[in-house]
Amino acid sequence: MFETPDDIYRSYQKFLRTKEYQRVYRCLERLLKEFPDDAQLLEDMVGLTIIFWKKLDTGKPSLIRLAKIRSYWLDNMLLSKVEVELGNIEKAKEYLK
């Protein structure tokens, strides 16, 4: 069955309400394939994977993409923190330059 981005987004919202986070993740993945530079979707992916699940490697690509399109210092600080927690001290320093 073909689902439009609107259908996927409605499913995403439903799964958020029902706290079905694996399904939320799959919806976000699908939406980001359609809209790879959507800052809100990227923020939601970072929030789910890094903040909520603590899956740093899973969320890092979204955080890098978000930092590139927004270039906020906060994103770079979070990227640095992720690298430190992954044990990549030198890489962490690069984000703070």
Half-sphere exposure of 4 (CA within 13 A, CB side): 3
- Amino acid 95: pLDDT: 85
Residue 77: the pLDDT is 87
Residue 6's SS3 state is helix
∠ CA 50-94-37, rounded to 5°: 50
Is the Cβ–Cβ distance between 40 and 53 less than 8 Å? no
Domain boundaries defined on the chain: 5-72
Q: Are 61 and 68 in contact (CB under 8 A)?
A: no
**What's the whole-number average pLDDT of the chain?**
93
Per-residue pLDDT reduced to its tens digit, 45-91:
999 999 999 999 999 999 999 988 886 788 888 889 999 999 999 99
**pLDDT, position 81:** 92
Give the residue from 5, 6, 27 showing the smallest Cα distance to 15.
27
